[in-house]
Each structure stands twice: as C-alpha cells, then as structure tokens.
Amino acid sequence: MAETDIKKGLAGVVVDTTAVSKVNPETNSLLYRGYPVQELAASCSFEQVALLLWNGELPSDDELAEFTAFERAHRALSPELKQVIDALPDTCHPMDVCRTAASVLGAQDPTAEHSSKEANLAKAKSLLAAMPAVVAYDQRRRRGQELVEPREDLGYSANFLWMTFGEEAAQPVVDAFNVSMILYAEHSFNASTFTARVITSTLSDLHSAVVGAIGALKGPLHGGANEAVMHTFDEIGIRQEETAEEAEARAKAWMDDALAQKKKVMGFGHRVYKNGDSRVPTMKAALDAMIEHYDRPEVLGLYNGLEKSMGEAKNIKPNLDYPAGPAYHLMGFDTPTFTPLFVASRISGWTAHIMEQLEANALIRPLSEYNGPDERHLS
Ligand SMILES: CC(=O)SCCNC(=O)CCNC(=O)[C@H](O)C(C)(C)COP(=O)(O)OP(=O)(O)OC[C@H]1O[C@@H](n2cnc3c(N)ncnc32)[C@H](O)[C@@H]1OP(=O)(O)O
Ligand SMILES: O=C([O-])CC(=O)C(=O)O
C-alpha cells in the first residue's frame, strides 16, 4: 500500500482562501485587507483597524463615530458577569476567566443563535467592547482592588489602561498599547483562528467559536508565549540597578545554558516566518518607547542578550510575543494578564474569520491514517 503523505501539524497545507490578511514570509510582510500592518500601527486606532478587519475597508468618519459610540456604551461589566468572575478562584489562570466570560456573554446574548452577517457583526462588536473590562477587573480583583468603571471620554486603549490601573495613562503608554492591539489583531490561519473556523464550520455560534479560540490561544506555543517570555526574564532576574551591558551578559549566559540543555525558549521561532516576524520591529519600537518612558535600560539589556545569543546559536528570530511581553510588564500588567490582552485584540481577527467562514462554509473534517491494532474480536 502506498504511504500516505501525512502533514503533521498541517505544516505547509493550504486549507482555504482568506481576504482578511496576508502573511508573506518571503517579503516579511503582513497585510490586513491589503494594508501593511506597520502603516496601520503608525496612523490608526485599534477601533479603526477592527472595523477594517470586519468590513474590508477603513471606516469613514461617520462609521467610526458610530462604532466609537457603540463601543463606549458597551464597555461596562454587567453585575451578572462580575458575579461569575468573583465566583472563580483567583488562583485560576486569567485566560480561564476570559474563556468563561466569553461563554457567559454568549449565554446572555438573546441573538446568540442568530448567524446572519449583521447579527454576527453586532456580536463581534459587543464582545470587543466587553472584553477589556473582564481583563482589567480580573487583574484588579487578584490585587485586592475594586472594579474601576469605564470612562466614555477615553478611546479604547486609554480606557483599557484606565480600567486596569485606575489612573489615566501617559500618552506614550497609550500609544504603545494601541500599537500592540493593532499588531495582535490578526494573523491569517494561526492555531486559534483555525480553531474558531473549525467550530464555525459546524454551524455552531460565534461565541462558541471565540471560546474555543481562547482555549487554543492559551497554550505557550501560541499566545501563551508572551507570558512565558516574562517568566524567562524573571528567571534570569530583572535587576534595576544593573546597566544594560551587565543585564545583556547575564541574559546571554542564560540563553547559552538553556540551548545547551536543548530547551525551547518561548518568544522565538514561528511556523510561517523563518526569517523574522514582520511585526517585531514595530513592537520593538513600542518596547523601546516604554524602556525610555520608564527609564529601564536593564530590560533592553536582557532583551538584546537573549536575542543575540539565540541568533548566534540557532539563527532563530523573535516573534511578536517577545517584545510584547516586556512592554506589557513595563506598563504595569501582571504577567498572567498578558495573553488575555492578546485575546482582547484578536477578537477582531477571530470574528472577521468566523464571518468569512460562514460566507462560503464547508465542514472542516480532515482524514487520519489509522495506526492502531488490526481488526480483532471479543471472542
Ligand atoms: C503570536 C504567536 O503565536 S507566535 C508563536 C509563539 N510561540 C512561541 O514563541 C513558542 C516557541 N516557539 C516554538 O515552539 C516554535 O518556533 C513554533 C511552535 C512557534 C513554530 O514551530 P514549528 O514551525 O513547528 O517548528 P519546530 O518547533 O519544529 O522547530 C524547528 C526547529 O527549530 C527549533 N526551535 C523552534 N523554535 C524554537 C525555540 N523557541 N527555542 C529553541 N528552539 C526552537 C526546534 O527545536 C526545531 O529544532 P530541530 O529541528 O533541531 O528539532
Ligand atoms: O500565525 C501564527 O501561527 C501565530 C501568530 O503569530 C499569531 O497568531 O499572531
């Protein structure tokens, strides 16, 4: 019998078309609906980018104003959802809280089972508006702090930071956070988006697909890597009294040792990009801005040390999670909150893909090659 050509991990397999984004490892570029993500990060708000991903075009002023009003009106955590979050142990992972919250929001939505484009777009907008309060409140309750109500006079990013920290963030911090939200928003058929598409392909509902996607994003080979990067920094030790050079030397030694032990170091490598992640330079610039804003040169030393050592030893480049982790740390987020921040952003891309899947749906059901025991019988 001819051997089946099995593509483990679906590596290199093209399973469908998409008009949402184009990841091109040859040119090291990422386009959202045709626009280079770097250009969007330089001049757009996350709200504009979400509308671009959903609608295929950047919004007009009126469309943006309409969505902005909607988003600001749907930010508050409902008392029922707050009660559910409060019932969860603060020892559980914040991604479990996000996953539960997305499920509750689906159960509370009277249109949850409606799957028209209009109904799904409305659900996508509501989820995008609601998730920051979940992420922000969860971090606060773990710190023993009270809920901070949203502010309608602030944009998405400024309000997210406000609800998390209870004070207005400085403009450079808001800008860096907005950049991170834009860069995390969409990345074609990554594992979590593909999960969302698989669930959608059964004609299940949008919230179920998002819940599944959150589960897929949690793993350290995917979104969980931004959290894992910070664990690496912590393991090496962040010493504020150190110079960048001293920190770099210690980070290099740590990486040499980790690679000698054949460890996988999270925040490096990518299934599609083999020559560097197109988003890293933009996120690294945002990290640099945070290092300057908070005057933390030793963080740059650690960053450079790990990157150089991994480059020299294995020529493996950082992915987006590598600069995003320390940037979120400097902004003041707790490490387990990092991947929920990714969720808040990626809801835009996931839901764009859910709507696209439904436009030309085919049940996703690949084949497998059986390698268990030959047929046998009970007697
Ligand atoms: C936003 C995102 O989701 S970006 C991805 C975030 N994930 C991470 O940062 C996790 C760490 N990175 C990895 O595990 C991988 O690079 C992946 C899973 C992202 C991509 O992996 P794949 O394309 O399947 O490549 P694979 O894991 O087979 O790696 C190929 C080789 O590079 C090595 N390698 C890849 N990434 C790393 C890494 N981060 N650290 C050390 N070695 C690595 C592998 O050990 C393997 O070496 P080998 O051929 O000697 O066995
Ligand atoms: O594309 C991938 O495999 C992972 C990734 O970078 C993302 O989802 O942003």
Residue spans per domain, the chain: 16-221+335-359, 225-331
The answer to whether 41 and 182 are in contact (CB under 8 A) is yes
Mutual orientation of helices 117-142 and 61-73 as an angle, nearest 10°?
Answer: 50
- Mean predicted lDDT score pLDDT of the chain: 97
315-336 residue pLDDT tens = 999 999 999 999 999 999 999 9
Strand order in the sheet with 29-32: 21-24, 29-32, 35-36
**Which atom, in ligand 1's list, is nearest to the CA of 187?**
1
What is Dmax (Cα atoms) for the chain?
75
Q: Which class does domain 16-221+335-359 fall in?
A: mainly alpha
Find out whether the beta carbon of 255 lies less than 6 Å from any atom of ligand 1.
no
Q: Is 270 a catalytic residue?
A: yes
The response to whether residue 221 sits with its C-beta less than 6 Å from ligand 1 reads: yes
ipTM over 0.95: yes
Count of all residues that appear for the chain in the document? 379
Instruction: Give me the architecture of the 225-331 domain, per CATH.
Output: Orthogonal Bundle (1.10)
Note the pLDDT tens digit of each residue in 203-252: 999 999 999 999 999 999 999 999 999 999 999 999 999 999 999 999 99
Digit-coded pLDDT (tens) for 239-294: 999 999 999 999 999 999 999 999 999 999 999 998 999 999 999 999 999 999 99
Domain 16-221+335-359 shares a fold with domain 225-331: no
The verdict on whether 321 is a catalytic residue reads yes
Helices marked H in the chain: 37-43, 46-55, 61-73, 79-87, 94-108, 117-142, 156-165, 171-184, 191-201, 206-218, 225-236, 244-260, 280-294, 297-314, 321-331, 338-359
Task: Based on the residue annotation, tell me whether 16 is a catalytic residue of this protein.
Answer: no
Per-residue confidence at 1, pLDDT binned at 50, 70, 90?
low
The secondary element (H helix, E strand) that includes residue 23 is strand 21-24
Tell me the ligand closest to 339's alpha carbon: 1
320 CB within 6 A, ligand 1:
yes
Task: Say which amino acid occupies 237.
Answer: G
